[in-house]
Chain A
Amino acid sequence: MADLKHNDEFLIEEVKFADVMEDGFHDHHHGDKYQSNFITHYIFSQDHKMIAKQFLITGMFWGVIGGLMSLVFRLQLGFPEASLAWLKPILGKWIVVSDGVGTLDPQFYYALVTMHGTILVFFVLTAGLSGTFSNLLIPLQLGARDMASPLLNMLSYWFFFLAGAIMFASLFLSTGPFSGGWTAYPPLSGLPQASSGSGAGMTMWILSLVFFVVSVLLGGINYITTVLNLRTKGMSLWRMPLTIWAFFITAILGLLSFPVLVSGLFLVMCDRELGTSFFLNEIFVGGQALEQVGGSPILYQHLFWFLGHPEVYIIILPAMGLVSEVLAVNSRKPIFGYQAMVLSILAIAFLSFIVWAHHMFMAGVNPFISNIFVIFTLIIAVPSAVKVFNWIATLYGGNIRFNPGMLFAIGFVSLFISGGLTGIFLGNSAIDIPMHDTYFVVAHFHIVMGVAAFFGMFAGVYHWFPKMYGRFMNDTLGKIHFWGTMIGAYAVFWPMHYLGMAGVPRRYYSFTTFDFSSQFAETNQFITIAAIITFGFQIIFIVNFFYSIFYGKKQTTRNPYGATTLEWTTPINAGHGNWPGGIPAVHRGAYDYGKGGREYIPQIEPVSDEEKLFDEEHAH
């Protein structure tokens, strides 16, 4: 306990930091005036903490929409005979009622599938996850007043908002929103004649995604600049918490890959509007032979997956960073193998750029090319395995506190193992022949980058909620939410592996057209019921979140978790600029837990002489 007291001088209010970096921030006296007005504080805010909350709450809105969409199409799959007439007041003409029995229009089924994918991948798990926590944590954990450019940061959110508004509006088009799958492969996406969703719906989808990419680029360039230039005194790259490493690398991935998506979408637009034929060749559709020849639909797939594959790491790396931090703090142990963790992030990020064609083994590309992509794809399993082993080793010998954040972090590791291992099957092109575009793939990516990324996000929200609102979320509700979601997620997605191994293709509106898929009526019912229950558990989270903003248990100490990182040295409900005086300087890495018999040593504490001796003894 003596050790704890020693820490306290850094933590209780009226802190005196051992060493500060004076940047003259408060000399301008603009700190208070800055947030004086409602609009600049809550709406067009340039404060990274507020922007983080904006991203989070917008992401939650989209999460609910995307989740509800999946429930509607799950109802169709689980209970194809049941009447959906009760949805008619909401879905209107997309519910076709005959003899009092309402059925979901197949066109709209595909629109829902497409929107569910687009919304979850881009709006929730990219913007809602990386947007929220990069904004919140990069300045706080690095010791910066704010992002390098608060204005660009604000624009980043508002471009995201605009993208969302356009996508939302497209849901109400009379021809329906885009319905060609979130990958938007032409010619289906390029030809309004091929699908009614490929008309105005596709135009708005492209427009929305272009604004979304603008948002990602503005955010990303800001994150990178901030990480490189605005670290406090003593915060070398190798002392950064793993969260920051993850956000930093994620931003670089986004910056390099998203523009390629835009170029692909631009070419689709040209095909649609200008009569070019980048992706069109010898097509006869709607009773008419098109003039366009010479293009290749496969070119689009290369452009798309050059973004699409790094995109899955843009989703999962921030979750990995958050989980690493939460696991270490709540195990009261240093993250095992910090350097290996950083290097594996770098390795995964590098490899993510040279594996894109593993989505295209069955697309008609030269089979020889697949050899190279198989090799690189399976190599990714190595750094991923290192991360998993290091997380497990972090738990070993710990003193583990099971708060909701920690539970979700442990759940993340379990999901990442389960979903990651099925990737080894799919990455091997030969096994991909039977598994490609089946429910096996659906199970794989939902577990490894869908649910797992959500778990990373939940871990982050529960853990850093006090940093956002100065209060805690309710602990018991958080734990009910965790166990319900953990069991529910496995119940939903695990059986899908078996559907895939029976050869059932994904994106099927009905399972009864084919004999080989018609035997799964009960499985589909089970999945649908599990999905509805699991969604129900998310209501607990949402209620807990909004209730706790106003009535949650108040945060009374600056550093409630006994964490080493800088964000816990700011005042509770830190104002603009984060630290009232100078910015604390940093003297050590982010993971000094349990060192030399002390429970934790904050980054701001200088290295003592005894500690130097301790380090020398333990140096290998």
Chain B
Amino acid sequence: MMYVVGTLILVFIIVIVVQIGNITEVAARLRGEKQAEHDKNEFNARMMILFMVGFLVYSVASAIYYAPYMLGYGPNILPTQHARDIMQLFNVTLFFTGIVFILTQIMLFWFAYKYRAKEGRVALYMPHDNKLEVVWTLIPAVVMAILVVFGLMVWNDTMSDVSTEAESVGLVTGKDNEYIEIEATGMQFAWTLRHPGMDGKIGEKYYKAITPTNQVGQVWDDPKNIDDIILDELVLPVNTTIRARITSRDVLHNFDIPHFFVKMDAVPGMPTYFKFTPDMTTEQYREHLSQYPEWNVPADPDEPDGPKRWEEFNFELACAELCGKSHYSMRKIVRVVTAEEYNAWLLANEEKSLYLTEIRGTEEDPFLDKATLTIEKRIADRKAADQAPSDDPTPATPEVEEDAAAPAPAPAPETPEAPVDAPEQEEAGQ
């Protein structure tokens, strides 16, 4: 039924269009073709000016309207240095192209209006003007040269790898030249995030070792895998260089954290890297947003008394390379915390390493012969330390755990030596 109505409407529209066409032709004949031609020409010339004004106002007004939404503008400040550099380049480009945009659009529509056909006028004969052409070849060339030089400086800074002396660490000590290498593995349709653990080293993986529990295919012979943690959310310390190692286990994905201007394809069989340093914690960013009225509305419109939008803000990790039917849903939260919080978090999560929770003590465990691994000893020691104050009347609250973890920012005394006590296996694992 609906389709019949739809077809009838379409036929109706077609008839109307045809009739409009016929009427205008008859009307033109009645008025005299010349006169009609002239009138229409004048009308369209005026429309050119109208359109020009409307278009320029629309482009500027919409930019102002959308400013609070765009990254790098309004409340959406950029929490990494390389993003701010890119934004500066963006704004310089916007300055040059903005001038060209406004001037050329005005000239185009203005000339169209000004030089509309007039009876008896013969157009200016101007086949070329070499001087003019040289000028408008050289000006874009110079501007492009500026943009290329500036752009490549920013690009090469951003894409440079961590320095060769730099060291990947687990706990943050605040020393120069330390970075944290985390691994993101794209799969249909989720990111699997792997933290290197206390040793700061990501263990070997092999795609044929993938099982339902071992999602990235960690190779257990490699002692570096013992403390690697699979994360629900990406927890990063502020002001510390992060080197994201980006891999894929099936099709192409793209590791995309919009707020950080971090984006890199995940390619099966070939790790890619992106280095970045967030310099604001999620908490700081929320506080910053709280100054803006548009962030002071309830996050959920149905719950007017619920948390405000800024309280719910999170940095998000997305996929930016089409990877199949649920490409749009590969969401993970990125939480930037202070170095102290990060260290405490890592210590508290150490025992959640995939090896300890799933492999230790099973047939797959290559270190069955070792009664106690260093990591286990470390965890046990820490638990004992936790137990000690719990003899106090104070009940075991999360606060207690934090207290216990507090001294961690100072280099943990147990860590300097080899992370695992299986040196003879270390060779095999490589």
Chain A contacts to B: CB under 8 angstroms:
86, 89, 105-107, 109-110, 179-181, 185-188, 191, 194-196, 280-285, 289, 293, 295-298, 331-334, 336-340, 362-364, 367, 370-371, 374-375, 378-379, 381-382, 385-386, 388-393, 395-402, 407, 410, 413-414, 417-418, 421-422, 424-425, 428-431, 433-434, 436-438, 474-477, 479-480, 483, 486-487, 490, 494-495, 498, 501-505, 507-510, 513-516, 519-520, 539-540, 543-544, 547, 553, 591, 593-599, 620
Tally of chain B residues near chain A (CB < 8 A):
121
The answer to whether A336 and B126 have CB atoms under 8 Å apart is yes
Q: Which of B154-162, B235-243, B336-344, B396-404 contacts A (4 or more CB under 8 A)?
A: B154-162
CA gap between A374 and B93 in the complex, in Å: 14
CA gap between A543 and B48 in the complex, in Å: 25
The answer to whether B320 and A289 have CB atoms under 8 Å apart is no
Closest chain-A Cβ to B332's Cβ sits at a distance in Å of 10
Q: Which of B18-26, B173-181, B375-383 contacts A (4 or more CB under 8 A)?
A: B18-26
CA gap between A390 and B20 in the complex, in Å: 37
CA gap between A371 and B152 in the complex, in Å: 6
The answer to whether A364 and B128 have CB atoms under 8 Å apart is no
The answer to whether A431 and B123 have CB atoms under 8 Å apart is no
Q: Name B136's closest neighbour in chain A (CB-CB).
A: A389
The answer to whether A436 and B320 have CB atoms under 8 Å apart is yes
Q: Name B187's closest neighbour in chain A (CB-CB).
A: A284
Closest chain-A Cβ to B377's Cβ sits at a distance in Å of 35
The verdict on B290 contacting chain A, using a C-beta distance below 8 Å, is no
The answer to whether A510 and B328 have CB atoms under 8 Å apart is yes
CA gap between A284 and B324 in the complex, in Å: 15
CA gap between A298 and B248 in the complex, in Å: 13
The verdict on B283 contacting chain A, using a C-beta distance below 8 Å, is no
Which of B44, B85, B188 has the most C-beta atoms of chain A within 10 angstroms of its own C-beta? B44
Q: Name B29's closest neighbour in chain A (CB-CB).
A: A553
The answer to whether A540 and B97 have CB atoms under 8 Å apart is no
Q: What are 30 pairs between A and B in contact, CB < 8 Å?
A: A89-B3, A105-B325, A110-B322, A194-B251, A283-B251, A371-B152, A374-B148, A375-B152, A399-B123, A400-B116, A400-B117, A402-B40, A407-B44, A410-B48, A410-B108, A424-B97, A424-B144, A430-B85, A430-B151, A430-B152, A434-B258, A437-B254, A437-B321, A498-B69, A501-B66, A515-B316, A516-B259, A540-B17, A543-B17, A594-B122
Q: Which of B163-171, B224-232, B266-274, B362-370 contacts A (4 or more CB under 8 A)?
A: B266-274
CA gap between A339 and B133 in the complex, in Å: 11
CA gap between A191 and B250 in the complex, in Å: 9
CA gap between A296 and B267 in the complex, in Å: 8
Query: Contact string, B112-148, partner A, CB cutoff 8 A, digits 1/0?
Result: 1001111001111111111011001100110010011
Contact partners of A428 in chain B: CB under 8 A: 89, 93, 147-148, 151, 155
* 6 A-B pairs closest in CB distance: A503-B258, A281-B269, A397-B124, A367-B159, A498-B66, A476-B24
Contact partners of B21 in chain A: CB under 8 A: 474, 476-477, 544, 547
The answer to whether A379 and B144 have CB atoms under 8 Å apart is yes
The verdict on B207 contacting chain A, using a C-beta distance below 8 Å, is yes
Given the known inter-chain contacts A289-B208, A428-B148, A510-B329, please indicate yes or no for A475 contacting B24, CB distance below 8 A.
yes
The answer to whether B71 and A502 have CB atoms under 8 Å apart is yes
Contact partners of A620 in chain B: CB under 8 A: 130
Closest chain-A Cβ to B122's Cβ sits at a distance in Å of 5
Closest chain-A Cβ to B247's Cβ sits at a distance in Å of 9
Q: A502 touches which one: B69, B159, B329 (CB < 8 A)?
A: B69
Given the known inter-chain contacts A417-B108, A494-B58, please indicate yes or no for A430 contacting B155, CB distance below 8 A.
yes
Given the known inter-chain contacts A378-B147, A400-B115, please indicate yes or no for A430 contacting B69, CB distance below 8 A.
no
Q: A297 touches which one: B97, B207, B252 (CB < 8 A)?
A: B252
The verdict on B420 contacting chain A, using a C-beta distance below 8 Å, is no
Q: B115 touches which one: A110, A388, A397, A504 (CB < 8 A)?
A: A397
CA gap between A504 and B156 in the complex, in Å: 25
Contact partners of A297 in chain B: CB under 8 A: 252, 267-268
The answer to whether B66 and A284 have CB atoms under 8 Å apart is no
A-B contact count (CB 8 A): 380
Given the known inter-chain contacts A374-B151, A509-B327, please indicate yes or no for A364 contacting B318, CB distance below 8 A.
no
Contact partners of A379 in chain B: CB under 8 A: 144
CA gap between A404 and B324 in the complex, in Å: 43
Q: Name B208's closest neighbour in chain A (CB-CB).
A: A289
Contact partners of B59 in chain A: CB under 8 A: 494
Contact partners of A508 in chain B: CB under 8 A: 327-328
The verdict on B30 contacting chain A, using a C-beta distance below 8 Å, is no
Q: A283 touches which one: B104, B125, B207 (CB < 8 A)?
A: B207
Given the known inter-chain contacts A333-B126, A364-B265, please indicate yes or no for A429 contacting B155, CB distance below 8 A.
yes
Q: B261 touches which one: A185, A289, A364, A433 (CB < 8 A)?
A: A433
Contact partners of B195 in chain A: CB under 8 A: none
Q: Name A402's closest neighbour in chain B (CB-CB).
A: B44
9 more A-B residue pairs beyond the given contacts A282-B268, A396-B126, A516-B259, with a C-beta to C-beta distance below 8 A? A296-B267, A333-B125, A336-B127, A400-B41, A425-B90, A428-B89, A474-B21, A490-B55, A591-B127
Q: Name A553's closest neighbour in chain B (CB-CB).
A: B25
The answer to whether A364 and B329 have CB atoms under 8 Å apart is no
The answer to whether A284 and B24 have CB atoms under 8 Å apart is no
The answer to whether A388 and B147 have CB atoms under 8 Å apart is no
The answer to whether B44 and A503 have CB atoms under 8 Å apart is no
Query: Contact string, B78-96, partner A, CB cutoff 8 A, digits 1/0?
Result: 0000010110011001101
Given the known inter-chain contacts A370-B155, A495-B62, please indicate yes or no for A431 contacting B90, CB distance below 8 A.
yes
CA gap between A503 and B210 in the complex, in Å: 33
CA gap between A593 and B122 in the complex, in Å: 9
Contact partners of B108 in chain A: CB under 8 A: 391-392, 395, 410, 413-414, 417
CA gap between A402 and B111 in the complex, in Å: 13
Given the known inter-chain contacts A106-B326, A194-B324, A515-B314, please indicate yes or no for A593 contacting B250, CB distance below 8 A.
no
Which of A381, A389, A503 has the most C-beta atoms of chain B within 10 angstroms of its own C-beta? A503
The answer to whether A188 and B117 have CB atoms under 8 Å apart is no
Within B293-331, the residues touching A (CB, 8 Å) are 312-314, 316, 318-329, 331
The verdict on B389 contacting chain A, using a C-beta distance below 8 Å, is no
The answer to whether B265 and A400 have CB atoms under 8 Å apart is no
Closest chain-B Cβ to A431's Cβ sits at a distance in Å of 5
